[in-house]
Structure 1
Amino acid sequence: MLFVVAWPTPVDVGSRGLIFRVLRMLHRHGVPEFVNYNVIEFTANFAMFVPLGFLIALLFGPRWWWAALIICAGLSVAIELYQYLLLPDRYATVRDVVANSTGGTLGAVLALAPIAWHRRAQE
C-alpha cells in the first residue's frame, strides 16, 4: 500500500493502454459501458483499504472496532494531502477518499464476524 501511495507518478501510467484495450474488449462482450476507467480506479482504491480496515478492527477488538472507520478515513485524507502537496504528478481527489474510506469500512464490518467468534470462544 505504501508503495502505491508514495509512488511519484500514477502507478498505472505504463498500463493505461492495456487497461483501455481490455475495457473495449469487455464492452464488446457484454460488460456494460458504465464499467470504465473511473470505476476500475474507484474499485482499486476501495479494495486497497478493505484489508486495512479489517486488520485495524481486529487490532482494536470488540469495543473499539469502529475506530477503524475513523483511522481509515483519516489516513485516506492524509494520503490525498500528501499527494496534493508533495507529488505534483499525482491527483488528489475526494473520490479517492470516499473509495478508501468505504473500503476501510467494509473491512471493519467484515472483521465483526471473527471478533464475535473469538469473543464467544472466550466466554
Structure 2
Amino acid sequence: MLLVLYGFAVLFVVAWPTPVDESSRGLIFRVLGALHRRGLPEFVNYNVVEFCANIAMFIPLGLLVALLFGPRWWWAAFFVCAALSVSIEFYQYLLLPDRYATVRDVVANSTGGAIGMLAAVIAIAWLRRPTPISR
C-alpha cells in the first residue's frame, strides 16, 4: 500500500506539465544567495539542489521495491528504479514540451534508488541477524 501511495506521489511530480519548482524557483535562488553569503560554497547551486532532490525522490522507491522483492531479489530494485527513471525521462521528452528530459536526472534517480536499495539490504540484514540467547 505504501508503495502505491508513493507511486502516485511520484506520478504527480513527474507528470506535471511544467517543472514542479517553477513557481518557487525565485525563492530557491534567494535562499541559496543568502546561504552563499553565510559561507555555503558557491558550487552548491540550483543544479546541485535539483540533482539532490532527484536523488531524494527515488530513495523511498529503492527501499520499498527492495523490501518488496525480499532478500533474494533485492538487487533487482536498482534495475526497476533505473528503468522507471528512463521511462519518466522519455515520457517527459515525448509528451511534456515544458519539461527537461536529461541523462543527469536518470543518474540522480538511479543513485537515489541505489541508496534506498542499500538501506533495505542493511535493514533486512539487521532484522535477520541472530539474536543472542540470554541466560
State yes or no: 1:112 paired with 2:121. Answer: yes
Residue 14 of structure 2 corresponds to which residue in structure 1?
5
Residue 33 of structure 1 corresponds to which residue in structure 2?
42
Tell me how large the CA RMSD over aligned residues is: 1.3
Residue 85 of structure 2 corresponds to which residue in structure 1?
76
- Scaled by the length of structure 1, the TM-score of the pair is 0.95
Quick one: which of 17, 38, 53 aligns to 2:26?
Answer: 17
State yes or no: 1:91 paired with 2:100. Answer: yes
Cα distance in 2 for partners of 1:103, 1:90 equals: 20
Residue 65 of structure 1 corresponds to which residue in structure 2?
74
Residue 54 of structure 2 corresponds to which residue in structure 1?
45
Q: How big is the shift at 1:120? A: 3.5
> SS state of the match for residue 111, structure 1?
helix
Cα distance in 2 for partners of 1:87, 1:109 equals: 32
Structure 1 residue runs of 5 or longer lacking an equivalent are none
Q: Give aligned pairs, total.
A: 122
Cα distance in 2 for partners of 1:54, 1:13 equals: 28
Instruction: Give every structure 1 segment of 4 or more consecutive aligned residues whose post-TM-superposition deviation is greater than 6 Å.
Output: none
- The residue identity in structure 2 corresponding to 1:81 is F
Calculate percent identity across the aligned residue pairs: 76
Cα distance in 2 for partners of 1:46, 1:101 equals: 7
- Select the structure of larger CA radius of gyration: 2
- Scaled by the length of structure 2, the TM-score of the pair is 0.87
Structure 2 residue runs of 5 or longer lacking an equivalent are 1-9, 131-135
